[in-house]
Amino acid sequence: MSAPLSFPFPDTPGEGEAIEVADGVLWMRLPLPMALDHVNVFAFADDDGWTIVDTGFDTRKSRAIWRKLLDGPLAGRPVARVIVTHHHPDHVGLAGWFQKDHGAELITTRTAWLFARMLLLDEQMEPVDETLAYWRAAGMNKTVYEKRLRERPFNYADIVADMPLGFKRIKEGSVITFGGRDWDVRIGNGHAPEHATLWSRDGQLVIGGDQLLATISPNLGVYATEPEADPVGDWLEASERLGHFACESQLVLPGHKLPFTGLPTRMRQLTDNHHGALKRLEAFLTDPHVAGDCFPPLFKRTIGEGEYGLALVEAVGHLNHLYQTGRVTRVRREDGAWLWQKVETNDD
């Protein structure tokens, strides 16, 4: 049996503070205005300054906290480079600020950089037709749909700083050096396309981003940009592949919650959790349902208004996986919603 999860640093850093989790490695946090109220960021000491991993949202509060961090725990030394694990706003939000105002080099995957640049340009004052069609296809709750129909959508540019041209690409098999260590780049998928994870060659540290989390599961959502996507299948494939490199002693530095050890156990837990959710969902679909009906078997808890959007896109993600693996069928209802139903087999 693999070792259980362990949390060597149970106390979290306060605002503008840092905790040293390894020699020359600082753990810090930035606030998020949502149920998941923080994102972890890390700083690695180098001869020419600091290497920062992930950045938080671009907000006045985040910039103020970063200035406090730069003057305090980071001791006024320059930020030489910023590594972004994936394109989500809480991870890339201030990368452009570090580039433009601090002269930092940006290092990330090509897909993460292209997604970020594309989304920065995609400003919408009202939901576009494709988004509305996606919500209807998912069977979004009518009250939620009518409310969102009247609201200005979230825009990526609201919380992500403008990103200048130029970045350094990392990809599967890349080796980069920072913080006095050599790191292997291994690519995850599912939560975000071409999500970078970094594994120190001394076997001590893993930078997990949102691919490797200890006490929550990465959101595996489908969006109007690619409505037939199978993020669950992508995540399961990546988890199987990355699991070959996991060791019990590695300290994982995740995008959220606490740093932890016991990575083999956690990867097995996450995989089992998704397979279990798929089985519960498949059984639920003995009778046909739209995606918006599928929260109880997937999450086994009440989904509030603030969580509704993430729950809906994850429900579609699991349904798409069942559909693409031949375990459910779907038919279009008159209102445009897909009705999903289990495929009956001789074993049923």
Ranges of beta strands (E only) in the chain are 19-22, 25-31, 38-46, 49-53, 79-83, 105-108, 168-169, 175-178, 181-188, 195-200, 205-209, 251-254, 328-332, 338-342
DSSP string, 181-222: EEEEEEEE-SSSTTEEEEEETTSSEEEEETTS-SSSPPP---
Domain coordinates in residue numbering, the chain:
19-342
Q: Give the Cβ contact number of residue 82 at 10 Å.
A: 26
Dihedral-angle region of residue 16 (phi above 0 means left; psi in -120 to 50 means alpha; beta otherwise): left
Distance between alpha carbon 101 and the CA centroid of its chain, in Å?
Answer: 26
CB half-sphere exposure, 253, CA atoms < 13 A: 27
Count Cβ atoms within 10 A of the Cβ of residue 30 and give its class: 0-12 exposed, 13-18 middle, 19 or more buried: buried
The CATH class of 19-342 is alpha beta
Q: Which pLDDT value is given to residue 229?
A: 98
Q: Which pLDDT value is given to residue 301?
A: 84
State how far the Cα of 39 lies from the Cα of 208, in Å rounded to an integer. Answer: 12
State how far the Cα of 111 lies from the Cα of 176, in Å rounded to an integer. Answer: 18
Q: Which pLDDT value is given to residue 44?
A: 98
Token pair, residue 178, equals 């920072």
Q: Decide if 127 contacts 309 (C-beta within 8 A).
A: no
* Sign of the C-alpha dihedral computed for residues 132, 292, 146 and 142 taken in this order: positive
Contacts of 240 (CB under 8 A, 6+ apart): 271
Angle between helices 129-137 and 142-150 (to 10 degrees): 170
The residue among 83, 86, 82 whose CA lies nearest residue 116 is 86
Contacts of 325 (CB under 8 A, 6+ apart): 233
Q: Which pLDDT value is given to residue 304?
A: 86
Tens-digit pLDDT string for the chain (348 aa): 678 999 999 999 999 999 999 999 999 999 999 888 999 999 999 999 999 999 999 999 999 999 999 999 999 999 999 999 999 999 999 999 999 999 999 999 999 999 999 999 999 999 999 999 999 999 999 999 999 999 999 999 999 999 999 999 999 999 999 999 999 999 999 999 999 999 999 999 999 999 999 999 999 999 999 999 999 999 999 999 999 999 999 999 999 999 999 999 999 999 999 999 999 999 999 999 999 999 999 998 888 888 999 999 999 999 999 999 999 999 999 999 999 999 987 666
Q: Decide if 81 contacts 170 (C-beta within 8 A).
A: no
Q: Decide if 220 contacts 233 (C-beta within 8 A).
A: no
pTM: 0.95
Tell me the C-alpha to C-alpha distance, in Å, between residue 334 and each of 4, 129, 133, 322, 331: 50, 18, 13, 23, 10
CB half-sphere exposure, 207, CA atoms < 13 A: 33
SS3 281: helix
Q: Which pLDDT value is given to residue 1?
A: 63
Q: Scanning the structure block, which residue is given the tokens 């979004």?
A: 140
